[in-house]
Structure 1
Amino acid sequence: MLRTTLVAAATLLTATTVLVPPAAAADKLPYSDQCQFPNGLYPGRPWSLQRVLLDELWSQSQGKGVRVAVIDTGVDVKNPQLTDAVDVKAGRNLLPKNLKDEDGDPIERGKENGTTDTVGHGTKVAGIIAARPAAGTGFVGLAPEATIIPIQQNDAEGHGTTDTLAAAIRYAIQAKAGVINISQDTSNAMKPSSDLERAIDEALAQKIVVVASAGNDGLGGNVKETYPASYDGVLAVAASDRNNERASFSQSGDFVGVAAPGVDMISTVPQGGHCSDNGTSFSAPYVAGVAALIKAKHPDWTARQIVAQIEQTAERTIDGHDRLVGWGVVDPVRALTEDDHPIESPSPQGGLGRAEAPTAAKFQTGETPDERNARLATYVAVAAAVLVAGLGGTAVAIRDARRRARRVSGAE
């Protein structure tokens, strides 16, 4: 069984999720912290986007022409920010037919094109990647010109399996995806069937960047491998908080490639509006969006080179890699601007933030140049005043002499 990597259990609708009748338009609803479908528009700019200079980022790339496969619980295109972002014709529903719930009652499978999402998970993931700009909100996807391929492979009851995940990856290859986002992991730490790994390798061979969430079992320092994030070539993404540190729930391990914001993540929800959620599920699409931007700018780069670029330019405070945040917290602007040539692997020194040592002040044995200039300026000012006074006194003396001369001449 597969699970979407929410902090709350599995993919089940949580107690804070409320389904609102579709007649309630999102643009007429106030934004609510209670996650409801639809919900109001988030009025500001989410913190995960405030940390990025979006104008500088988008001057380099907006992801145009890059297709991103979202293998998840579906993507609801009724949210206006996703309507033009999703290739509906390319979508696919890979869930088994004749689905039943825990009580054995039949459940609705959803549309064949993958645009049904009763959970909201896949719709949030897609929004972080490619939501289009909209009036009334500061939320937007990191790659607002990329195209989403919705591949519904899991649902609220957890019907997704490693077999359907492998099939979804292969379908993404056929649908010409340039990036694949997988915000799911297996329900246990055992390495799954080799067919899933083969599907990953097939995608990598086609220069497709595969991004996967690291998992949310990190409380208490728990360290274990998760799949498909732990496969070679997959960029495993941990969650970071507002302080660029590992979120407490984020899975740790040597397989972690980078970290990205995963706390209080605002994104699109089914039927319209936005909602906040936590988890590495929402860190992965943040990185997938950056991968789409790089791929649009450098279409000839391999998947390995794009991954290395993201790792190389991530923000970190120690040399090299660590098991908490990998190579560091992703820096979208650096990833798009420090890219004069492709690299195959990150350098331990690259991205390391070091404070520059202050320049020592020059020791002066006499007056400084500024003091000398001030002194000379004073001399000039005083001399000018003396000269003006002298000229004024001379003029008075000449005038008085002329008056005396006229008086003497008149007396004679």
Structure 2
Amino acid sequence: MAATLLAAPVAAADSASDQCTFAKTNHKYSGTPWALQRVNLDQLWSESKGRNVKVAVIDTGVDTANPQLTHAVAPSLGANFLPPKDDKGQEIDRGNSKGTTDTVGHGTRVAGIIAARPMKGTGFVGLAPEATIIPIKQNDAEGHGTARTLARAIRHAINVKADVINISQDTANAIPPDEDLHRAVDEALAAKIVVVASAGNDGLGGNVKKTYPASYPGVLAVAASDRNNERAAFSQSGDFVGVAAPGVDMISTVPKGGHCPDNGTSFSAPYVAGVAALIKAKHKDWTPRQIVAQIEQTAERSIAGYDIRVGWGVVDPVRAVTEDDHPIESPHPDAGLTHAEAPTPAKLTLGETPQERTARIATYVAIGVAVLVAGLGGGAVALRDARRRRRGRVGTS
């Protein structure tokens, strides 16, 4: 069976003019991006920085010329699975064989969100700044790849012992690809690798459908959220979505140096992959299922349970690495909210029931006794006072 063409791992906008662009001299973002402002980085990094965790970025390559990525990438572990020619016989600009060139810029932005090193003059940094990026190139200059080369890329990540795999792409028209891709994903999970994938950007108008490889069992599918922790309008919805993460105006690294913003679930996925790297570094013996469940359980929720738009909620990096006393196998709804029941209305009765009549009579009797006791007591006091007055008059006459 012919390999299925993968949708270009581009931004959420329909128009290419809205995508991030870069040049030889790029602007350096001096502030701290909003997606990082929502995280207490000092508290986060006091728990983990992702040291010794390898994250495979299967994408358009990762340009190590960006100084924030130069020491974050392991070229010796990288690979390039682009064919020498496209389906029209035209030569493909493959770059080098290690995946450390990027003519599109997409993979470089993805890698930066995961593991960009701190640098003076910018507030941008990766969530796991001590993790190592494995650059695996399988998308061409237009951002396209095939299910066949994606499967090969996943198996390469397995061979070089990746701990996390980030896949910021999905099949065109949400068509299930060649079954070999599914097998490759299962092999990665069996090798105890956390697989994170973008949910897709075809969610305008509330569109609900499965995307691949995000909807394969065991894969953590990531939707995009905005600054209000709500689903971004473009983000794909579906019962396969695990969590959401920031995916709007995402600042990240670009080839040659500098930064630029972009939108899409492509940039939500690496945000979560970075959190997975932090957990893996702290809990080396946790399984992929436990790491995924931890991310889902500690996500910030607007409702008590699951939602097809944002899954279990918007990922909370700090909670994910601090509320971790013991591993869990699956997330669960917040206690006491999901199954709350409305109060039971009182039974409507017309007229007086026997019970009510008995209670009424008992009340009347009690009141009557109280009045009688009060009256007798008052009469006794009056009689005593009258006798004292008479004795007083006799004594003074």
Residue 302 to residue 151, structure 1, CA distance change in 2 (3 Å): same
- The yes-or-no answer on 1:301 pairing with 2:286 is yes
**Alpha-carbon distance between aligned partners in 2 of 1:83 and 1:106, rounded to the nearest angstrom:** 28
TM superposition shift of 1:6: 2.1
1:71 aligns with 2:58: yes
Distance in 1 (CA, whole Å) between partners of 2:193 and 2:337 is: 28
Cα 1:38/1:93, change in 2 over 3 Å = farther
* In structure 2, distance between residues paired with 1:282 and 1:65: 23
Shift of residue 99 of structure 1? 3.9
Q: 1:390-401, aligned counterparts within 5 Å?
A: none
Partner of 1:391 in structure 2? none
Query: Contact 2:60 / 2:107 at 8 angstroms: preserved in 1?
Result: yes
The alpha-carbon deviation at position 215 of structure 1 amounts to: 0.2
2:161 to 170, 176, 189: 176
From 55, 59, 64, the counterpart of 2:42 = 55
Question: Among residues 43, 59, 70, which one is paired with 2:30 in the alignment?
Answer: 43
Output the CA distance in 2 between the equivalents of 1:112 and 1:351.
55
Matches within 5 A, 1:91-102: 91-99=78-86
1:312 and 1:350 in contact (8 A); partners too: no
Aligned counterpart, 1:90: 77
In structure 2, the CA distance between the partners of 1:91 and 1:38, relative to structure 1 (3 Å rule), is farther
Q: Distance in 2 between matches of 1:72 and 1:113?
A: 12
Q: Does 1:106 align with 2:110?
A: no
Query: Distance between the aligned counterparts of 1:259 and 1:148, measured in 2?
Result: 22
- When residues 302 and 88 of structure 1 are mapped into structure 2, their CA distance, relative to the original with a 3 A threshold, is same
Distance 1:116 1:9, change over 3 A: farther
CA distance in 1, matches of 2:281, 2:336: 23
2:231 is matched with 246
After the TM superposition, which parts of structure 1 deviate over 4 Å for at least 4 consecutive aligned residues?
A: 350-353
Residues 176, 38 of structure 1: alpha-carbon distance in 2 compared, 3 angstrom cutoff: farther
Q: Is the Cα–Cα contact under 8 Å of residues 22 and 255 in structure 2 kept in the other structure? A: no
Q: Number of residues paired by the alignment?
A: 333
Superposed, 1:81-230 pairs within 5 Å as 81-99=68-86, 105-230=90-215
* SS of aligned partner of 1:81: coil
8 Å contact from structure 1 (residues 95, 159) kept in 2:
no
Q: Is the 8 A contact 1:113 1:150 kept in 2?
A: yes
The letter of the residue matching 1:167 is R
Q: Distance in 1 between matches of 2:18 and 2:201?
A: 19
- From 263, 266, 270, the equivalent of 2:255 is 270
**Contact persistence 1:237–1:258 (CA under 8 A):** yes
* Partner residue in 1 for 2:381: none
2: CA distance, partners of 1:270 / 1:174 = 27
Separation of aligned partners in 2, 1:142 and 1:106: 37
How far residue 300 of structure 1 moved from its aligned partner, in angstroms, is: 0.1
In 2, Cα distance between the equivalents of 1:16 and 1:208? 34
TM-score using structure 2 length: 0.81
- What is the RMSD of the two structures over their aligned residues, measured on CA atoms? 1.9
Per the alignment, do residues 91 and 105 of structure 1 end up closer, same or farther by CA in structure 2, a change over 3 Å counting?
same
In structure 1, the residue corresponding to 2:222 is in which secondary structure? strand
Report the Cα offset of residue 351 of structure 1.
12
SS of alignment partner, residue 166 of structure 2: strand
Paired residue for 1:7?
A: 12
User: How far 1:50 moved relative to its partner?
Assistant: 0.2
Q: Could you say what secondary structure the match of 1:228 adopts?
A: coil
Describe the superposition over 1:14-73 as per-residue Cα deviations: whole angstroms up to 9, x where unpaired.
4467xxxxxxxxxxxxxxx86444412101000000000000000000000000000000
Q: Contact between 2:84 and 2:91, CA under 8 Å: does it hold in 1?
A: no
How far has the Cα of 1:204 moved from its partner?
0.5
TM-score (norm 1): 0.78
Identity %: 74
SS of the equivalent of 1:188 reads: helix
**Structure 1 residue identity aligned to 2:222:** V
Letter in 1 for 2:34: W
Q: Which residue type is aligned with residue 6 of structure 1?
A: A
Partner residue, 2:296: 311
Q: In the alignment, is the contact (CA less than 8 A) between 1:185 and 1:213 conserved in 2?
A: yes
